[in-house]
Amino acid sequence: MVTDPLSLPASDLAAALRAREVSVLHLAEAALQRVTDVDERVHAFLSVTGGMAREQAEDVDRRLGLGQSLPPAAGIPIAVKDVLAVRGVTATCGSKILESYVPPYDSTAWSRLRAAGAVLVGKTNCDEFAMGSSGENSAYGVTRNPWDLDRVPGGSSSGSAAAVAAGMATWGLGTDTGGSVRQPAALCGVVGLKPTYGLISRYGLIAFASSLDHVGTFTRTTRDAALLLSTLAGVDPKDATSVDQPPADYTQGLDAGVAGMRIGVVKESFAEGVEPGVTDAFRSSIERLMRLGATCEEVSLPNTDYAFSAYYLLAPAECSSNLARYDGVRYGHRTHEPVDDVVELMMKTRGEGFGDEVKRRIILGTYSLSAGYYDAYYGQAQKVRTLVIRDYQRAFERFDVVLSPTSPTTAFRIGERTDDPIKMYLSDIFTIPADLAGVPSISIPCGLDDDGLPVGLQFTGPLLGERQILQAAHAFEQDLGFQLAPPLLAGLAS
Ligand code: GLN
């Protein structure tokens, strides 16, 4: 008998669901009840899709009852970031400008999950158009960290991370352009995977910065990350940038351990500004990996600092172009103010519809792309991007994976960084390089700091090196035995 199905990873639930020890409907109801119990305080969800969830759950129960063999995702409750299209369900992107936008189609990521029988709990809160590191840029209010409700869950995929941490969903989907899956995963004590650029289709992901946008996953364990990736990965004719990889089972080889693995410890991890609690947990993680038989040696990614600056030119440049489509004419919000012409209509609509951070980035991006500055800013940033790619290429000549903290700090207080954009941007100093290079990277919990807040550990691999990072992360996780137990859940069971 399963007493608390919401505390189990999907890899355990799969067996219980198939043995009919717990029904999919019961699991879905438990997740929806958890939302009722805690989401008034956490505010992870922008919409809850109870009707869809029950319908899908009943269908999966029926098929399991008939003895059909279903994929591992069947019956698993999942939370989806509000930048991914689900047909018939509002997709706001955390913005007023898309307040009433209902996509008429499914993103590929969601359609693969739906086909595999996953159960949608709802769409989750995020920084507006995924621009942010704390969730505070959402037009719909902040999401709170289940470990401490006065603190941010990280961002921009704030709601999906918080939902998984609080057991409102077993899995979550997010997007990672500069760190928005791995950083909130770290701050919420869950596993966040950003695969190789193009391994998961971006079709139906409402664009922020197309050359950097990745769909990523939130799970309680690394094994679940591998299961979820196996459901999502693979070429998609609807996304020309998707990688031509056949479907694969990423759980294969997961238990191979780290003995003999060559791990490069990123020297820049010890830079100024990293909290002592993070450094301590990072150092003991290195020791643990060595004890498990890995060799750990220092490696430098010398362009880390410049990666950060390059990202804040390239991402705004791409966003200024991508967000030009919100003009009040084609779809989304249109101003109700009287206007004289179409230019005024666009200006008023965009002025009302976009929040401050989005406007800041559109202005920055438009500036850096303008004729007089293109070479000085955009062109230079693209060159730095090449240098970052070369940093990794050199590192992976010597190492199987490289290791760093995920975030320089643990969860910070709500409001603490809102007046200081640069400080906010620095939250992603360790995650941005992997987005620029498109290489796979995973954050897993590696302990708690003195305030009882989770610390994230980041394994990064070469292009299409998902198996290496999953294998290393899994070995570490098995040995550590981290407990995902945010205080919010004390006394709650499903
Ligand atoms: N925090 C970074 C930003 O604000 C990353 C966002 C993301 O990955 N979507 O751009």
Q: Is the CB of 56 under 6 A from ligand 1?
A: no
Is 269 a known active-site residue? no
Is 156 a known active-site residue? yes
In ligand 1, which atom is closest to the CA atom of 176?
A: 8
Distance 142 CA to ligand 1 centre (A): 16
CA distances from 126 to 117, 142, 184 (A): 25, 8, 11
Q: Provide the pLDDT for residue 336.
A: 96
Is 180 a known active-site residue? yes
Report how far residue 5's alpha carbon sits from residue 22's, in angstroms, rounded to the nearest whole number. 8
Q: Which residue, by CA, sits nearest to atom 4 of ligand 1?
A: 132
Q: Provide the pLDDT for residue 491.
A: 76
Model confidence over 287-341: pLDDT tens digits? 999 999 999 999 999 999 899 999 999 999 999 999 999 999 988 999 999 999 9
Q: Provide the pLDDT for residue 490.
A: 86
Q: Is the CB of 158 under 6 A from ligand 1?
A: no
- Residue of 82, 84, 124, 131 to mutate, ligand 1, most atoms within 8 A of C-beta: 131
- The catalytically annotated residue of 23, 47, 81, 123 is 81
Q: Is the CB of 179 under 6 A from ligand 1?
A: yes
Report how far residue 335's alpha carbon sits from residue 344's, in angstroms, rounded to the nearest whole number. 10
Q: Provide the pLDDT for residue 3.
A: 79
Q: Mark the ranges of the chain whose per-residue pLDDT is less than 70.
A: 1, 493-494
**Buried (b) or exposed (e) across 310-327, using 16+ Cβ within 10 A?**
bbbbbbbbbbbbbbeebb
* Cβ partners under 8 Å of residue 20, min gap 6: 64, 65
Q: Which residue, by CA, sits nearest to atom 10 of ligand 1?
A: 131
Q: Is 0.95 surpassed by the pTM of this model?
A: yes
Q: Provide the pLDDT for residue 199.
A: 98
Residue 311 tokens, joined: 């990202």
Residue 322 tokens, joined: 């991508």
Q: Provide the pLDDT for residue 493.
A: 63
